[in-house]
Amino acid sequence: MSIQILKLISGETIATEVVETGDHVVKVLNPIEIRTESYGRTKATMVAYQWLPLVEKENIMFIQERHILGMAFAGEDMCEYYNNVVKEMLSPQKRTVKDTDEEKEFYEKLLEIARNANTNNITVH
C-alpha cells in the first residue's frame, strides 16, 4: 500500500492510496482531505474529511496530473492516521461493539466534565 500526500492546484491537501499512475492520470483509492485548523497562536489540529462524500461503493477516483502540484510519500504517523480515518469514516460498518462502548463511556465522561466545569468566569481560590 502506497499512501501519499497530494497537494492540488485548488489548494486542497489529499492523503490517499495511489493505485497506479499513467497517461497523465493518477488513480487513487479512499482519498481524504486533510486540513490544518489553528486555534489561537500556538495550537493547531489536523482534521480529515471525506474528499468526495457522495461516492457509494468503490472509492476510486482519477486525478489529472496537471491538477497536482506535488506528491510525497506519507510518513509512518500519517499512514497510521490515514488508516484510522479510512476505517472510521469510510468503513463505519466495520466498527466493533467494543469501539462503540468505549466511545459511549468517553462521551459520558466528557458530559460529566462539562456539567462540572466552571463556565461563569468566576475565579475560585
Give tens-digit pLDDT for 15-45.
Answer: 999 998 888 899 999 999 999 888 778 888 8
Over 70: is that where the pLDDT of 78 sits? Answer: yes
Res. 9 pLDDT band, cuts 50 70 90 = very high
**Domain membership of residue 77 as a residue range:** 3-116
| Distance from C-alpha of 16 to C-alpha of 72, rounded to nearest angstrom | 11
Number of domains in the chain: 1
Q: How much is the pLDDT for 122?
A: 55
For residue 114, what is its C-alpha cell?
462539562
Domain assignment present for 121: no
Domain assignment present for 102: yes
Closest by Cα among 11, 68, 78, 92 to 48: 78
Q: What is the CATH number of the domain that holds 49?
A: 2.30.30.100
Domain assignment present for 125: no
C-alpha torsion sign, points 18, 19, 22, 27: negative
